[in-house]
Amino acid sequence: MPTLKEIKGRIASVRSTLKITSAMKLVASAKLRKAQMAIEAMRPYQEQLQGILTSLQGSSATDKADFTAPSPENAASASNEADFTALGTKTIVAIASDSSLCGSFNANAVAKVRSIRQPGDTVYAIGRKMADAMRRDGFASPADCSSLSEHPSYSDAAALVDKLAEEAGHTGTVVLVYNHFVSTARQEPVVEVLVGAAPQDNDADAVLSAGEESAGTIFEPSRKELLATLLPKTRKLKLYAALLDSTAAEHAARTVAMQTATDNAEDLLAELTLQYNKGRQQKITAEILDLAGGQAEN
């Protein structure tokens, strides 16, 4: 049984840890709010751009009066049902975080990559935790993309998309794996096509077979020119949105993890304090009994 000194030392240690977890929870909450504002401010533009692109391609969405982009929840559900291993050799852009203490955030993203990865695939790892896991698996990242995880930048994301699009002719499809922020308590790993097999990535010449006019719409400049301009922008914005989404999910996961750690520390502190008080009371009682026994002998 631990002595009172040992219990007291452990109480001090738990109190110190409690201060750290509480501070980390507050920091993560503040970062989460900023990340949510960033993704919420950018999403309407992304959805509108995707709607214009879908309309240009003459897809079934043009038959609707109003275009509604699929919600992230629907996209996440579709990615879980799709068989991405059937795409053959592909490039995977996998996003995780640079640090830990965020629950199962990194483990879920790594597991998602492993579920679709095949021999011959190339993995561009964004985030130190993802890079370390892929390196251990023998899929070292061809480029250092770690800065994109901690500080998402549109210019850096655009440069990476340009590189991936250039290599797409050799590697086939490019897919994106990241944790989607659903709520503070829920982050879901998703897989999306960035370049290649997605309907919006059809070759510009192929989608022109219907002519320059579609559903009574005349395009100026030509549909081909518009697609050549908007398609790269959509891809770049999609990667940047995924980076912001993953950042929000990371901070949400860390907030929950630190809240759980704080709650556990408080429970443990209460138990240790009770144990210490009981031990001290027993010691005082024993000393009183010794004194009372000595007086009786006298």
For 125, list phi and psi in degrees, rounded to 5: -90, 125
Percentage with pLDDT > 70 across the chain? 80
SS3 per residue for the chain: CCCHHHHHHHHHHHHHHHHHHHHHHHHHHHHHHHHHHHHHHHHHHHHHHHHHHHHHCCCHHHHCCCCCCCCHHHHHHHHHHCCHHHHCCEEEEEECCCCCCCCCHHHHHHHHHHHHCCCCCEEEEECHHHHHHHHHCCCCCCCCCCHHHHCCCHHHHHHHHHHHHHHHHHHCEEEEEEEEEEECCEEEEEEEEEECCCHHHCCCCHHHHHCCEECCEECCCCHHHHHHHHHHHHHHHHHHHHHHHHHHHHHHHHHHHHHHHHHHHHHHHHHHHHHHHHHHHHHHHHHHHHHHHHHHHC
What is the token pair recorded at 157?
Answer: 């994301």
Average pLDDT of span 276-280:
90
What distance in Å separates the CA atoms of residue 150 and residue 76, rounded to the nearest whole number?
23
Q: What is the CATH number of domain 28-258?
A: 3.40.1380.10
Residue-level pLDDT at 200: 38
Predicted confidence at residue 41, as pLDDT, reads 87
Q: What per-residue confidence (pLDDT) applies to 17? A: 93
State how far Cα 63 lies from the chain centre: 34
pLDDT (0 to 100) of residue 74:
53
Q: What angle do CA 36, 111, 201 make, to 5 degrees?
A: 65
Q: pLDDT by residue (tens digit) across 34-62?
A: 998 988 888 888 888 888 887 777 643 33
Residue 82 has what pLDDT?
62
Window from 171-180, 263-272, 285-294 with minimum mean pLDDT: 285-294
In this prediction, residue 30 carries a pLDDT of: 93
Higher pLDDT, 58 or 185: 185
Output the pLDDT for position 170: 57
Q: What was the pLDDT predicted at 207?
A: 42
Q: Domain segments of the chain: what residues? A: 28-258
Lowest mean pLDDT, pick from 82-96, 121-135, 171-185? 82-96
The per-residue pLDDT for range 16-25, each reduced to its tens digit, is 999 999 999 9
Confidence band of 85 (pLDDT split at 50, 70, 90): low
Give first-to-last CA distance, the chain, whole Å.
Answer: 34
Residue 236 has pLDDT above 70, yes or no: yes
Query: What pLDDT, on a 0 to 100 scale, did the predictor assign at position 171?
Result: 56
pLDDT at 221: 77
pLDDT attached to residue 44: 86
pLDDT for the residue numbered 66:
30
Residues 216-245, mean pLDDT to the nearest whole number: 83
Which pLDDT score is estimated for 14?
93
Question: What is the average per-residue pLDDT within 63-80?
Answer: 44
Task: Name the residue among 145, 147, 130, 142 with its Cα closest to residue 167.
Answer: 142
Structure-model confidence comparison of residues 272 and 72, the more confident one: 272
Residue 144, pLDDT > 80, answer yes
Give the pLDDT mean for 25-36. Answer: 92
